[in-house]
Structure 1
């Protein structure tokens, strides 16, 4: 097809090599990637902590600076989507399915299994667990997404550049970004996005399978997960086919409604007063300890350092690897907003909603653990939320809503990624051909199925985290290029006046 760029073909060759290695020698693939991942975490952990904290500081600076009044588009442009729909899209594409997957499991793990610094099963571990859960899903993540998305949206909608990662670096490297170096940057972005979404497809299928097992006794195994992926693939490709303003918009709004319904059910049926108190206390603790948590590397405590590598550094790597996809989608749906409005919305709305979600599900799970109603700490991650529902009123209703929400988030993330991959492999087109989107949908699902069949998802996850390191350097270049572009734009606006 004439519109397909070389990025598609080069990335496909790399995907075939990586998936082939993972399928033919899964144990070797996992061992090699685990070794490299551990080396990156132990050697560059300090760098990730500084980088993510820098993104928060930069976001605040731009919000307060005169740059905030610049519009992402022409001065006459206005937002394509309402604020509620926009927030729903941010939440759905960014981390909605992850919050359902880890909403109860992460705070519970920090409390009963693997606390950061406190003793397990104590009040201190309870509060610390929520605080670190907010930290891992809060301002740092969304600041990083916001800055990368801002760079993409500014150059695409304000300066008329194609919607490519490489195009944001033109103020530094000029025409070189239209040649091999630009292709290299875009290949890295597409590679990380493809494997990131394929991993989510695999883990999402596992959790839906767990929910169906709990509700209807469906066997947990590869065949049911294959059927789940096949059904979801048809749905998300259909949604992507219908376009951004129809399928993805309606699905995102559906996600928001289902999420609010499930959240209210758990809030009302769970320990309501304790949830509200823990949210208030722990969010205050998160803000009060923000700087210390942001730069904590535990250099003289090996046990704490291992915890940081396994949790915080893992999360920072994971979110950086997801930045090409999530930030590009955020940029695409944010045309017409001012930079100040954009940054405040991206930073505050998902962080506060995510913190309240983690408080509601995490406090409910920990309370069940503390009272001895059920030993949730022994549950697998994908089953924790369903085991939690089993000792609450209306367990079937809660579980059915949860399965629907997981499936809906699952479909939205996948079709958003399909749309973004279509853009990246068609020279940044805002309306990639349906055939390209269909192809990317099939590729993502095929990767997930192959690696599920050989238990290769962990190795794939390691690969994405390894890819985060080189992409983090690209993010720094994007920051420098963005600041250079914003400064030039302010001078241009002054001349026009």
Structure 2
């Protein structure tokens, strides 16, 4: 208890008020959140677009800059985890549930209703995957990587607490240790709560959808409440065992199951078509990345609404997840250089996510385009199971998927309780079980309240609103770490640059 800070108590009071409001007046809360969502999407869509692009440009700058050789730790520190385990932990904390929930449903949705052009065509198929890659690719992982880098740098190289407020000291001085710093950390806590609660809601909805699709279990709020309650007990038990045991073993299990599901899906489906589609759309994504990343539609309200509901929502979601995923990635990345870290976290997950969506989404598009099925007409949570019905070994695939969703559910919540514990105990990398259990209960309660107040729309609103103030903090953190990087590797004086560039004069021989 001695490690608990004001951030913990302030956050706890506000979180309690939110949960009580959602229980007492869910309809009123849902209406208010609907108004807030519309306001932020219509007024600040351009801001989220520019912010996401900023983080990508900043990440690329760090990779190619002279600061790439700086180590996230002391000069003699070695990585704590081997690379396969590192990648597994990164994916489990980063996007696990989302990849399963949206793996089929997002590409097939864009195929039917693309951001532009006619739906159901070959061009729509290419656009669908291209924009799915945009939402889950370089921009998303740039946000994660930059924030994780900043936290890791100050924690392991500067021996500072693993808090976002600490990283602002180079910019605002000791004010980062006072009320401003407390406000920053509270904002980070709430972004984490809402970002993770939305994922937990998606996970419960998809588990329920899968059980309904294959076993006739009612698809309703009561069943989803039971699912959340059961999983809450499991992830709290996991969180209590500590990082090395709980999260590490579950993350490795997730990786094995995800790889099995991915390649089984690939080889049972239209393999050649999927691989051709992946290569083609990946090239198209890279080619069109700048224009897609800054695309808005001020002259067409229908297209503008599509961008707000998908692209802008995703940027807000990744920003809201940044304190959670960034803190967790930082915790497991000690000893790596800036360049190694940025390349690994930015490039490899992007390629894996793109391949994942090509396999799952491409298979669904194949069946709708060539065989006239209507997977696009399924709900978001049941689209994946509709594809399973068209493949051999569908029963096995369903069982593996439900297990994988559950383990991703547990590891996401497990990791979140760990990170929330860090954020509310002065950056302690081994927060007390009391704190982790408390935040585990509030994560589940928040997910239930959001589902009760409006389902996916309420979750999106919570993410978009909480991400807005946090975006300013994350941008400030980027400039702050750059200021300290310059102290480690100061710029070369102009006179020295001229001396280096000047051609060397050959010495004339001495006259005899």
TM over 0.5: yes
Task: Verify: 1:382 aligned to 2:371, yes or no.
Answer: no
Q: In the alignment, what sits opposite 1:188?
A: 187
Query: Residues 421-432 of structure 1 correspond to what in structure 2 (within 5 A)?
Result: 421-432=420-431
Deviation at 1:461, TM superposition (A): 3.0
Q: In the alignment, what sits opposite 1:484?
A: 483
Aligned mates of 2:281, 2:167 — CA distance in 1: 38
Secondary structure, counterpart of 1:282 in structure 2: helix
Aligned mates of 1:64, 1:468 — CA distance in 2: 29
Q: In the alignment, what sits opposite 1:495?
A: none
Q: In the alignment, what sits opposite 1:136?
A: 135
Aligned mates of 1:410, 1:331 — CA distance in 2: 21
Secondary structure, counterpart of 1:382 in structure 2: coil
Q: TM-score, normalised by structure 2?
A: 0.93
Q: Is the 8 A contact 2:232 2:440 kept in 1?
A: yes
Aligned mates of 1:392, 1:259 — CA distance in 2: 18
Query: Residues 389-404 of structure 1 correspond to what in structure 2 (within 5 A)?
Result: 389-404=388-403
Q: In the alignment, what sits opposite 1:120?
A: 119
Q: Is the 8 A contact 1:107 1:358 kept in 2?
A: yes
Query: Residues 54-133 of structure 1 correspond to what in structure 2 (within 5 A)?
Result: 54-112=54-112, 114-133=113-132
Task: Classify 1:184/1:344 alpha carbon distance in 2 versus 1 (closer, same or farther; 3 Å).
Answer: same
Q: CA RMSD in A?
A: 1.5
Per-residue deviation, residues 186-243 of structure 1 (Å, max 9, x unmatched): 0010011112222222221111111122233222223322222122112211221111
Query: Residues 52-451 of structure 1 correspond to what in structure 2 (within 5 A)?
Result: 52-112=52-112, 114-372=113-371, 374-451=373-450
Aligned mates of 1:275, 1:490 — CA distance in 2: 46
Aligned mates of 2:301, 2:490 — CA distance in 1: 51
Q: Is the 8 A contact 2:37 2:460 kept in 1?
A: no
Task: Classify 1:26/1:453 alpha carbon distance in 2 versus 1 (closer, same or farther; 3 Å).
Answer: closer
Aligned mates of 1:470, 1:352 — CA distance in 2: 30
Deviation at 1:453, TM superposition (A): 4.5
Secondary structure, counterpart of 2:155 in structure 1: helix
Task: Verify: 1:463 aligned to 2:462, yes or no.
Answer: yes
Deviation at 1:145, TM superposition (A): 0.8
Secondary structure, counterpart of 1:427 in structure 2: coil
Moved more, 121-130 or 233-242: 233-242
Q: Is the 8 A contact 1:96 1:409 kept in 2?
A: yes
Deviation at 1:373, TM superposition (A): 5.3
Secondary structure, counterpart of 1:118 in structure 2: coil
How many residues were matched structurally? 491
Q: In the alignment, what sits opposite 1:16?
A: 16
Structure 2 residues not aligned, in runs of 5+? 492-512
Structure 1 residues not aligned, in runs of 5+? 493-497
Q: Is the 8 A contact 1:69 1:339 kept in 2?
A: yes
Secondary structure, counterpart of 1:237 in structure 2: helix
Per-residue deviation, residues 260-313 of structure 1 (Å, max 9, x unmatched): 100011100111000000000000000111111122112222222121111111
Q: In the alignment, what sits opposite 2:497?
A: none
Aligned mates of 1:444, 1:352 — CA distance in 2: 30
Q: Is the 8 A contact 2:141 2:350 kept in 1?
A: yes
Aligned mates of 1:450, 1:63 — CA distance in 2: 41
Moved more, 37-46 or 344-353: 37-46
Per-residue deviation, residues 368-402 of structure 1 (Å, max 9, x unmatched): 11234531112110000001101111110111111
Q: Is the 8 A contact 1:22 1:459 kept in 2?
A: no
Task: Verify: 1:25 aligned to 2:28, yes or no.
Answer: no
Aligned mates of 2:115, 2:169 — CA distance in 1: 42
Moved more, 193-202 or 462-471: 193-202
Secondary structure, counterpart of 1:374 in structure 2: coil
Q: Is the 8 A contact 2:208 2:223 kept in 1?
A: yes
Q: Is the 8 A contact 1:23 1:456 kept in 2?
A: no
Deviation at 1:20, TM superposition (A): 2.5
Aligned mates of 1:472, 1:445 — CA distance in 2: 25
Moved more, 445-454 or 47-56: 445-454
Deviation at 1:15, TM superposition (A): 1.3
Q: Is the 8 A contact 2:167 2:481 kept in 1?
A: yes
Per-residue deviation, residues 286-341 of structure 1 (Å, max 9, x unmatched): 01111111221122222221211111111111111111111111111111111101
Deviation at 1:91, TM superposition (A): 1.0
Moved more, 452-461 or 96-105: 452-461
Moved more, 17-26 or 431-440: 17-26
Secondary structure, counterpart of 2:489 in structure 1: helix
Deviation at 1:139, TM superposition (A): 0.1
Q: In the alignment, what sits opposite 2:47?
A: 47
